[in-house]
Structure 1
């Protein structure tokens, strides 16, 4: 298929639903130097009357750690990731050199992490390449977790709480009060925690309860999908567990409302594994086929070859339709149908039966090498367990059980009865059976409703063990502030038989202590013969491993099983219990609501992190707020446009939020993100959006009937980045797409398929390559010449690169109002494009394109700068000299890629102008290797020049040149999909040089003849 026909067949790549057909408005946005909002409510910002306190308020209040001298070095022995001479206990740490960075292995939420630390300060988190889960990558939320360490809104002291107000106390007073209550309520103690993956913490809880005379431990989660999965496994196979899903072994994948790249179970691992099957460097021989059926557009669904929009509550019916289609192909799946037919089910779903048949055919042709998954908040319907049973049925019929569904090495064993635990706790509180109630890292008042305040007061004493005075803590009697994971010891069993160690990189910044150390103190100062948790943990692991040296080796690597030692799934297929199948109930017609989690804020725990609040959603590109997602069809029917404030009503609740019209949704689907509407998260998160948890009904988050949705007559400007920094492909040239696409079938015939022909003829003069325009000789770089390659086939749009760049380069968040006028400061943005007809959501595809400074050979920004603040480097980079910049913004006006950012405010300065990094202790997390810019300066991507300098100096001192792969930019290092490559293009054996010469390689806006150093590889998908 030729290029023009392919692009014509795919309609076109278009950025915005609102701007479709509005040619003049689109041209104006593409011409503009920077985005200027037409919204009058922020005219005060546009006029220049910017109040610097606006951003300072975002960073919060509180004073702690006003100088580096307050940072205490650890007393416990921590071990660096690299092989250094580590002193014995009691010796000094002379091996640590001031000004040098060291890395320490730890774990958080099951992900292996390397902590970059300098002079006692953790500065950056990276994925641990040895860890079987992270495999060297890290998600956006995990990257931003470094911000939580230096959050000034963390609880800094123990507190007594009365009437929702805190009174600071000391630990001795709190410990005495708790011990007194424990003695008076023997056998009535209840510990409520989030789901724990730490075997040592569970053992310690057991010893604590035994030491105080008995009690109970309940694991509780309002949003976890593990409960439905474990119950479905128990019903299907007789044993409750959460299997490990092997996306790296699957040729065909079907996801039913399962955002496995965005936060489901082990999303980082699954995204990494999935991307291995999108690697075209082997000639595209093993590219997978991926179908996503979802009610709310997700980052996972945006990567599907075929995306099928379904109505919330119809997930089980869709799984049944797949069973019907498989039955027609010869699969033994008739048991589940109960007389239902494919055509009938497709009609009820509002889907084309042919698309269901294509999906079933791909799964059937890859029996034993396919995978069906379902789950997540938007799949938590009243039939959530029945859905999991049907998924198990499909995987068994497809011979996937024991292969791509790994039950021999599960993620979790045992029944995850979180809702049952919550009900038991509620009943015991009502009956007065709870004496002392400990709440660790759970926020039930926020997630489960205000009625929990009354329930909590029925306990004799309530102690919240939390990192801040959140909604639940303020309804308790006491707050025991807990440490950040970078300040704590711990362990985790991330998959059966795979253990990881959590070691701190800094002593507690505040007067806080770990959950485990609090239990030891409450028990009387000793558990298991130890007075501190570090000794308890070390003793347990030395006993398990057999020697102290093995314990130190474990600390160094961080895990008992390295990524390279990870084995393929091996387990016999289990016999499926067909009696577990139930008849799928029909649901009435009409609009249905699905609550979902964003990859940034999640369940609300990250609400006080400004980096995450300002991260554009991968699909909607909206920052800061939550909103009501509507299909274009439903919006048209109701006369609703984006930014109209609507009131949505269910049988029991109502909520008022701005609307966001979202292409690709089922016409009767409505979505709202949870995690917003916090009232006690901190200065950043308080009052942002509305609390959607109130709309859930008895643990059901999807398929909730919407009785009405109407406009209120008000508008609210969402901080959406979609119309900002729009590139122009050249007016009058619709066949000049910025994202170039092809199919895997065409790629196998012609690797250059889908790529537009170059408009810049390359000619030689006197044996040298010259450009046709101007005829200037190509500059020669005798040493290094840096370049980058971005594989659009692999890129998932997860935005981990955006946060990694932000943390690495001291890029500030600017706040909702500034984003509204296009003043976000991200050095790398991800442009989202739609491919297809918005009136046919089942045919609509989504494409993502990371755009950073292209480091042009003939950079148009350099020629217009009157003070030579932007110049061409000796290694092919476009460099910024900040102390020369006077802020004319001519460079921004001349940049066709719209990648330069202007500092409109003193984001990192206080009111007096002294550089102190906003509020303490936030400044302790700034990267000392990167200049902190101030107001009036233009900035942009530097290809991580500080990393380049560091590695070059190291290589020079060792008398060698840099090796390929030794140097990685922040965005490249964190990318879970391995979509970004960087290196020396002069080295023809380097990966980036090979990819830049790949037949799929093209340059953005090549017709301008600016010679970008960033190459893009065409986006390849399987034909539907």
Structure 2
């Protein structure tokens, strides 16, 4: 696609750049657009928009590629109609007398906590007939209670704790039959079956031989662990073998941030933010609301301050090279290169020093132009002035947070700024490092590699696939393959297992005993929800074996728990710990001061674009983290938060950078491939043009390019998804790489992205230009405080009062009807939603939503019941973004119900637009008539044709056993849909019915907040509110009466039960864009875009 952006001259000094602002293509009247294709009104976008249904509805995909996709997808999409159950090994006999508190089909809930993707997750697991099928955040955990604004008094009885996508998807990993399920040893270069008894004997023999040299020949490679039991056992091993080498390696490097905190405190420490009371949050190349390990906590704290009130609403700045989730939520965002962050902070410090000295940093011009109409150099100057003014004004209530990718000197400068502003100990804190191992000084991966094959002849690798994740120049694959004693605790028989001497299966976290320390210092327990399905063992059990102990996992963890809780645990205390999932305790907060370091050097030239001097940002994947979730197809098919790419990684570049170097992204799903070269290493990646990226920067996500081979079926065929970027990394530059050159190739590539799928366009192309501005509505804080929420009505479509085709009873009669106790409705607050995708995965896990694969996504056939639309606003160089979750709105006068010839979609007396799947004959009239485009059609039997008959080269016992394991992930309360059936959001009708049955048996009504949908419970910011709108005191009824509330497409008179709360930006006056200044002058009074009273939505 030819870019319309001019190439401007190069200027290097702050505040002296005079290039013209980047112009924008054809914009709609509201300034919103979903993609560059839509912005430029390409024929391909219009063709996709006009097609009501994807092409080739009856065409079954052909070729080897389908079998390859399905080979990876089978763990998720083998969704047969029956849902099995799994018990521990025992004799099968019926209950003569039913055990107390056990009722078949009634779920139980167990608290557990474990480490997942570098973070501690505290969960409440739904267990049905002995099998875990769903997780939620533990609402009673102190960490969650501490993030509530009224955590001492007035705490609501029911609340959602929120989770992240990895927690929600972990149940799929539990039932993945491709997990390592055998003890294997290498014989003649191949892994052959062995037994736990044989391995145990081998380990004992190794332990005896290691004692002879005090462990000098032993190496242990592990990730920094948050588990006190793991750290205690490693410490015990080193005490017994004092010359052993313990190496720690983390694929997502945060060592500079930890080192800065340690220097500031004088002992090992971590940085912890408190955003709940922060008024000014400055995120500098950081993403606390996205990929940060503490995302659920930070997101909840951030949302607390997003209530539109002049004195209480926080203000979020984002200065970054890539477009992050935090950048999408920011009130103001500035794209700069990662290498320029240090220079930016230097300028910010100068401005802060001037203000603290009583001087004015930068005088504001009386006739300042809008931010998007001035050169990039002036934009930078304004950002520095606005941020420094706000930080100085709110001393002690501000945050300057630099991302973990930045080097040590930049981290120290950020701490110095927080010290000057009085933030340390308040909004920015230090806590004791939770990964410290008593009596052990771990070495780095490079130091360990230097000893392998030399002084170290025996290596125990505790998971995390270290052959794949480190930079390839370390050469671990070659080193390990040359050694005779490499033991690998494997969750899959992956790249590391292929070179290990022993591969022993790792138990899933839901099968294991363990523990973890949360970021607030709370000691939390991990208890198994089911016996190991594939015979794996936990890390603590393997370490106990190496240390010569024979205790089981529960005893090992109980020993640690006794120390953590201050004394021996009797039976009652132990049972209480298991019931609650945590013990008392709090983080040991450390006092520290800033540490002077070298002043970061760098240029703030935002215009220069020179090949060979580009920057490469390698960040963890939005969905796969560092690649450890590459086999989890829920996450593979989850659209990445910003790009909406699925099943791939790509080279993200700004439109201006693409134009400069001749990179093209075609109008169709096919794009060109760019060759990215760093030194003598190169990788080919598909090109994806991303508005808002800093010029001269290439962004790519790690975690792809994994080789997936199913050895159990003797298949030589490999499935490789995306590109492995490890060859471009080095241990001293893991994420930020300079000196990069690019060259365009003629190689085409099909890149699947959902950004233009299911675009709402009921009034044609001409209407689309204005329609987007009515779908998402936003305004400024000044508009709220000065004129109320009139901007919500002003941005909507103005139309005459809507008339019904039949006479409707007054709402008062309906509300007083004693025969209908509940009327369900939902509100989604766009001011809190960050687009983190937790709701999407939670809905998929709860409602048995299938995965369709890359080929079907390219056809527009993805099945998610919730999609998150993201819209840009402004010019291509630095647009604003807004996220909007969209699911079935459960309209009172639903267009889908009126056209279904068999009444497969009907309205319940409680206002839910329900589906009768066995009636549906697949006419798809309902999907055609749905204005929200939220209905999904099953083009195949994803549970049989896609998951059962394909992906295997042999039939019989192996396949049957696999099927029985895979189907355990299904929720038995939700029907599994087949080919030719339409499906959609049901407001989690099964949860509604369960709570109604329970409260009816107890002789009471449902309390407000007692019933939560899956998406609501998973949302870390509590942006989703669900409840009884008939109860005027309920939270959902109050939210729908909020002046910010509006109904999407209300002019169609369909009366949706799901309303939205408009987005409010708390933008500094210096940084307002042209469209914000125009909106401020609009008359926001006297318009009624609903055409009927708010109560009529009910």
TM-score by length of 1: 0.88
CA distance in 1, matches of 2:130, 2:306: 40
Match of 1:154 in 2: 179
Shift in CA distance, 70/666, structure 1 to aligned 2, threshold 3 Å = closer
| 1:211, distance to aligned residue in structure 2 (A) | 4.4
Equivalent position SS for 1:687: strand
Instruction: State how far apart, in whole Å, the 2-side matches of 1:214 and 1:881 are.
Output: 67
What does 1:423-572 correspond to in 2, within 5 Å? 423-429=446-452, 432-450=454-472, 451-457=475-481, 459-495=483-519, 497-526=521-550, 531-542=551-562, 544-548=566-570, 549-561=572-584
1:317 corresponding residue in structure 2: 343
Aligned residue in 2 for 1:848: 883
Matched, 1:286 2:286: no
**For each residue in 1:953-1007, what CA deviation from the matched residue of structure 2 results, as whole angstroms up to 9, or x when unmatched?**
1111111111110000000001011100001110111111111111111111111
How far has the Cα of 1:702 moved from its partner?
4.0
Q: Deviations over 1:411-464 (max 9, x none)?
A: 66699999952122112225x111321100232211224521222245451100
Residue 30 of structure 1 deviates from its aligned partner by 3.9
Once the two structures are overlaid, the 10-residue window that deviates more, 847-856 or 442-451, is 442-451
Aligned residue in 1 for 2:987: 943
Say which of 596, 618, 621 aligns to 2:619: 596
Aligned pairs (5 A) from 1:334-733: 352-376=380-404, 379-380=405-406, 384-407=407-430, 420-429=443-452, 432-450=454-472, 451-457=475-481, 459-495=483-519, 497-526=521-550, 531-542=551-562, 544-548=566-570, 549-561=572-584, 574-578=592-596, 580-585=597-602, 590-642=613-665, 643-680=671-708, 686-728=719-761, 730-731=763-764, 732-733=766-767
Residue pairs, 1:743-762, within 5 angstroms: 743-757=780-794
**Counterpart-to-counterpart distance in 1, 2:278 and 2:286:** 16
Residue 131 of structure 1 pairs with residue 148 of structure 2: no
829-838 or 414-423: bigger deviation: 414-423
Q: Distance in 2 between matches of 1:917 and 1:292?
A: 50
Match of 1:330 in 2: 356
1:194-213 deviation digits (Å, cap 9, x = unpaired): 11111122112222344467
Alignment pair present for 1:205 and 2:224: no
> SS of the residue aligned with 2:127?
strand
Residue-by-residue CA offset, 1:895-919 (whole Å, 9 max, x unaligned): 1110000001111225479998983
- Tell me how far 1:303 sits from its aligned partner: 0.6
Find the partner of 2:912 among 870, 873, 877. 877
- In structure 1, what is the Cα distance between the partners aligned to 2:143 and 2:618? 27
Counterpart CA distance in 2 for 1:888 and 1:900 is 12
Q: Compared with structure 1, are the counterparts of its residues 252 and 71 closer, same or farther at alpha carbon in structure 2 (3 Å cutoff)?
A: same
Greater Cα shift, 582-591 or 823-832: 582-591
Three-state SS of the structure 2 residue aligned to 1:818 is helix
Deviation at 1:920, TM superposition (A): 3.9
TM-superposed deviation, 1:704:
2.0
> Which of 834, 839, 845 is matched with 1:807 structurally?
845
Q: 1:391 Cα shift?
A: 0.9
* 1:159-214, Cα deviation, whole Å (9 max, x unpaired): 01357632110011112223223333331222211111111221122223444675
- Structure 2 Cα separation of the partners of residues 986 and 532 of structure 1: 53
Task: Describe the shift of the 1:348–1:957 C-alpha distance in structure 2 as closer, same or farther (beyond 3 A).
Answer: closer
Match of residue 59 from structure 2: 47
Could you tell me which of 1007, 1017, 1036 is aligned with 1:992?
1036
**Aligned residues of 2:342 and 2:600 also touching (Cα < 8 A):** no
Residue number among 858, 870, 875 corresponding to 1:832 in the alignment: 870
Please tell me whether the aligned partners of residues 788 and 1015 of structure 1 are also in contact (alpha carbons under 8 angstroms): yes
Matched, 1:103 2:109: yes
Change (3 A) 1:333 1:161: farther
CA distance in 2, matches of 1:178, 1:794: 52
Measure, in 1, the Cα distance between the counterparts of 2:718 and 2:645. Answer: 16
Matched residue, 2:280: 252
Structure 1 residues 70 and 1009 mapped into 2: Cα distance closer, same or farther (>3 Å)? closer
d(CA) in 2 for partners of 1:476, 1:24: 53
Equivalent residues of 1:983, 1:990 under 8 A apart: yes
- Structure 1 window deviating more from structure 2 (110-119 vs 174-183): it is 174-183
The one-character-per-residue Cα deviations of 1:695-727 (angstroms, maximum 9, x if unpaired) are 113331344235432221122121100111000
Contact 1:74–1:506 (CA<8 Å) still a contact in 2?
no
- Whole-Å separation in 2 of the counterparts to 1:867 and 1:627: 45
Q: 2:330 aligns with which of 304, 308, 316?
A: 304
Following superposition, the deviation at residue 68 of structure 1 comes to 5.1
Shift of 1:50: 5.8
1:907 match: secondary structure:
coil
The yes-or-no answer on 1:141 pairing with 2:166 is: yes
Matched, 1:179 2:204: yes
- Give the drift of 1:608: 0.5
Per the alignment, do residues 164 and 922 of structure 1 end up closer, same or farther by CA in structure 2, a change over 3 Å counting?
Answer: farther
Does residue 57 of the first structure (1) align with residue 71 of the second (2)?
Answer: yes
**CA deviation profile, 1:246-277 (whole Å, cap 9, x unmatched):** 11121101111111122323122111111111
Partner-residue secondary structure (3-state), 2:523: strand
Aligned to 2:132: 122
- Asked if 1:71 corresponds to 2:87, the answer is yes
What does the per-residue CA deviation read over 1:854-911, in whole Å, with 9 as the maximum and x for residues that have no partner?
1111111111111111111111111110000010111101111100000011112254
Residue 639 of structure 1, CA deviation: 2.8
Distance 1:240 1:208, change over 3 A: closer
Q: 1:636 to 1:760 in 2, by over 3 A?
A: closer
Give RMSD over aligned pairs: 3.3
Bigger mean CA offset, 730-739 vs 106-115: 730-739
Report the CA distance between 1:294 and its aligned residue: 1.1
Instruction: Output the CA distance in 2 between the equivalents of 1:10 and 1:404.
Output: 41
Alignment check: 8 A CA contact 1:908 1:918 kept: no
- In the superposition, relative to structure 1, how do residues 870 and 813 fare at CA in structure 2: closer, same or farther (>3 Å)? same
* Cα distance in structure 1, aligned partners of 2:86 and 2:28: 63
DSSP-derived class of the 2:932 partner: coil
Distance 1:48 1:686, change over 3 A: closer
Q: CA deviation at 1:290?
A: 0.7
Cα distance change on mapping 1:68 and 1:583 into 2, 3 Å: closer
Residue 651 of structure 2 contacts residue 698 of structure 2 at CA under 8 Å; is this kept in 1?
Answer: yes
1:511 deviates by 1.6
For the 8 Å contact 2:203–2:545, the answer to whether it is kept is no
The Cα offsets for residues 551-606 of structure 1, whole Å up to 9 and x where unpaired, read as: 221211112249xxx89x9876x44333x233525599632111011221111111
Note closer, same or farther for the CA distance 1:427–1:104 as it changes in structure 2 (3 Å cut): same
**Which stretch of the first structure deviates more once superposed, 818-827 or 696-705?**
696-705
Residue 85 (structure 1) aligns with: none
- Runs of 5+ consecutive residues of structure 1 not aligned to the other structure: 1-7, 37-42, 76-90, 335-345, 764-769
